[in-house]
Amino acid sequence: MEKINMANPFSGEIRFDEPMARHTSFRVGGPADCWVRPGGEFPAYAPRLLAEARREDIPVFILGGGANLLVGDRGIRGIVLDTGRWAGFSPENSRENGGECIVRVCSGSSVDEITAAAAEKSLGGLEFLAGMPGSVGGAVWMNARCYEKEVADVLVETEFLDESLEHRVLGRHPGDFSYKKSPFQGAFTLILSAKFRLRPRLQEEILREMAEHRLDREDKGHYRHPSAGSAFKNNRSFGRSTGKIIDELGLRGLQVGGAAVAPYHGNIIINNGGAKAEDIRRLIDLVREKVKNTLGFDLEPEIIFAGEWP
């Protein structure tokens, strides 16, 4: 790892054997061999780091807000490239005649913070994301969705490095995105920025809608314990939400070690204090097994498993 020639000057942070529990919303995960969080030099630094890592055959994992991840207790081999300080929001065109406004957002920006920044400028479109943990890059990669809307609904364009580390820009074409799927999954991608189409809206209406979503999340217990949000995807062919299916089988409160199905929400698995990643993974498997054996449904985890597993 020491062979990698880090860009100079470098305003970010680099740590070795960095516990990933510090960087995931589950608060679990073993050490990353090397964790790097560049600052404003990110767009120049990241391609060099990736190219040098590739030359040395060192794997690189891209980290957003860590809000949809379960990192194994053995941690992550190679480099974790944390996008968290590559943040910012810039309107690209003015809104003459009261028309729409395109804004470009750096991928490491917190989703919740950009919804607030848009509201400050009386721009509507991102309200549905208020209160959702994670980064813009992660939300685009996951095509995050809530309150009947998904990121692809407001996405205009994504700037990214592809598997060959070529710089590319992808417009949003119908069919590229679907339920919790984006064209960036399945092959190495580093999302650098995203453009969203926003529309002028009365600021008080924007703020009211955002407050309603935040309150709803609080009522549903989203912030009560460390978790990664929904553990499993919904599947329309099952006729009801995954949360309802898990409730029907009386699985709320089911525990493995320090992990539990939240007593207040069937589709949230929580770290009840002191959970290991292995506890959470075994609980996910147990819930899947019980649902499969009783109803014949195959639940698909929404959580991404990262790092080394026994």
> CB of residue 278 vs ligand FAD: minimum separation in angstroms?
19
Q: Can you point out the beta strands (E) in the chain?
A: 13-19, 31-37, 60-63, 69-71, 76-82, 89-91, 101-106, 123-124, 145-146, 149-150, 155-161, 167-171, 190-200, 227-230, 255-256, 259-261, 268-271, 304-306
Shortest spacing between CB 25 and ligand FAD, in angstroms: 4
CA 233 to chain centre: 14
Cβ distance to ligand FAD smaller for residue 122 or 172: 172
Q: Which stretches of the chain bind ligand FAD, using CB under 6 A?
A: 25, 62-69, 83, 107, 132-135, 137-139, 141-142, 144-146, 189-191, 222, 227-229, 304
Query: For residues 122 and 283, which CB has a smaller minimum distance to ligand FAD in the complex?
Result: 283
Which one, 63 or 122, has the nearer CB to ligand FAD? Answer: 63
Q: Are 143 and 180 in contact (CB under 8 A)?
A: yes
As measured in angstroms, the least distance from the Cβ of 102 to ligand FAD is: 19
Least Cα distance to 135 among 61, 83, 99 occurs for: 83
Q: Are 245 and 237 in contact (CB under 8 A)?
A: no
CB of 265 to ligand FAD, least distance (A): 10
Active site residue 302: yes
Count of CB atoms situated within 10 Å of the CB of 294: 12
Q: Closest CB to ligand FAD among 222 and 276?
A: 222
State the Cα–Cα distance between residues 52 and 65, nearest whole angstrom.
Answer: 24
| Sole residue written with tokens 């710089």 | 167
**Residue 238 beta carbon to ligand FAD: minimum distance, rounded to whole angstroms:** 18
Indicate the residue among 122 and 307 with the shorter CB distance to ligand FAD: 307
Gyration radius of the chain over CA positions: 20
- Residue 236: burial class (beta carbons within 10 Å; 0-12, 13-18, 19+): exposed
Q: Is residue 212 annotated as a catalytic residue, yes or no? A: no
CA atoms within 13 A on the CB side of 126: 32
Q: What SS3 class is residue 227?
A: strand
Candidates 11, 230, 241, 308; catalytic one: 230
- Residues forming the active site: 230, 302
